[in-house]
Amino acid sequence: MADITRRLGWRHLRGAPTAHIRHHRDGHLLHDGPGLSFWFRALTAALSEVPVDDRELAMTFHARTSDFQDVAVQATVTYRISDPALAAARLDFSVDPDTGVWRGAPLEQLGTLLTETAQQHALDVLARTPLSSALVDGVAAVRERVAAGLGAEPRLPATGIEVVAVRVVALRPEPEVERALRTPAREQIQQEADRATYERRAVAVERERTIAENELASQIELARREEQLVEQRGTNSRREAEEHAAADAVRADAEAARTVRLAEAEATKAVRLARAEAEGAREVGEARAQAQAAWLRAHAEVDVTTLHALTGTRLAENLPHIDSVTISPDVLTGLLSRLGSGEPA
């Protein structure tokens, strides 16, 4: 839409770079081009605004395949007005000089023309294609056919229209048919999912079995090593006991040898001591015997009277300590006989 302002009975138009402006006055073309800006009088001016930018036209229509199945076609056509003068001559692109709004609906006319033309070519190709093939290869076939048909359509160049691109978004059957077509695929997908689940479970079971076997092998290995450890401990204990017994035997032998040596030393010492004591006793006995012999020799040389005197003296010395005196009959008889004969006692 053109931007028009008012100034004291004059109008000023400022166009966009993507809009081609045509200004006629009294049948003469005064201004012609995109992005123009000029003053004009509303009573004598005839204005046209033709967009020259690329336009997107989305279309949706229904078609029937060769096996009498309805499908919905979603497509988009990109076009542009390559000849604004020709388009302005063939379609009503005139604008109100006061508001800048189109008096008619030229873009709707273009949309109808493009949609009907594209639909005609799409229906032609789908009418000879079964539903299964249309769903598989129909998008490319419809796109190529619509693009070729629009390019060969004589009305479009005669109207100044150039088709830039054609895109077919989708071909969709009716909901019931689509659900029916999806069922085998869903079942196949479900079967694949079930198979994958079973395989995953089988792999999990196999892994669990492998893990259990590894654990059992580990336990067997641990038991075997424990048995070896117990056996080694028994061997070590026996060896330690043997070493202790050998050490005890060595200690016992050493103790016995030491005891023997001590006993031998004690015996030797006792023998030596006994010999010394016997020697001492022998010497003491010899000394006593010699003393006794000397005493006897000394008394043997003394007369009887002296001996009696010594005896009386010894008797007098020991009289306080003598409790009783025993005189044998022989001694008493001798003493009495001596007294009666007048001999000294």
For residue 87, give the nearest of 155, 16, 35 by alpha carbon: 155
Helix (H, G, I), strand (E, B) or coil at 94: strand
306 vs 310: CA distance, rounded Å: 6
Are 130 and 67 spatial neighbours (Cβ–Cβ below 8 Å)? yes
154 DSSP assignment? T
In sequence order, what DSSP letters do the residues of 225-261 get, joined into one string? Answer: HHHHHHHHHHHHHHHHHHHHHHHHHHHHHHHHHHHHH
- Other C-beta atoms closer than 10 Å to the C-beta of 34 total 17
Q: Which residues contact 241 (CB under 8 A, 6 or more apart)?
A: none
- The one-digit pLDDT tens for each residue of the chain (345 residues) are 778 888 888 999 998 889 999 999 988 999 999 989 999 988 889 999 999 999 999 999 888 888 888 899 999 999 999 999 999 999 989 998 888 898 889 999 999 999 999 999 999 999 988 988 888 888 899 999 999 999 999 999 999 999 999 999 888 888 888 788 778 878 888 888 888 888 889 889 999 999 999 999 999 999 889 888 888 888 888 888 888 888 888 888 888 888 888 888 887 887 788 788 878 878 877 888 787 777 667 666 666 666 666 666 766 666 666 666 666 666 567 666 665 655 555
- Other C-beta atoms closer than 10 Å to the C-beta of 138 total 24
Query: What are the strands, taking DSSP E only, across the chain?
Result: 3-7, 10-14, 19-25, 28-34, 37-40, 45-51, 55-64, 70-81, 161-173
213 vs 193: CA distance, rounded Å: 29
For residue 47, give the nearest of 2, 109, 83 by alpha carbon: 2
Q: Which long-range contacts (CB under 8 A, 24 or more apart) does 287-292 make?
A: none
pLDDT of residue 81: 93
Amino acid, res. 119: Q
pLDDT of residue 338: 63
For residue 135, give the nearest of 87, 193, 67, 36 by alpha carbon: 67
113 vs 107: CA distance, rounded Å: 10
pTM for the complete prediction?
0.53
Q: Kindly tell me the sign of the dihedral angle through the C-alpha atoms of 304, 310, 313, 319.
A: negative
Q: Is 342 left (phi over 0), alpha (psi -120 to 50) or beta?
A: left
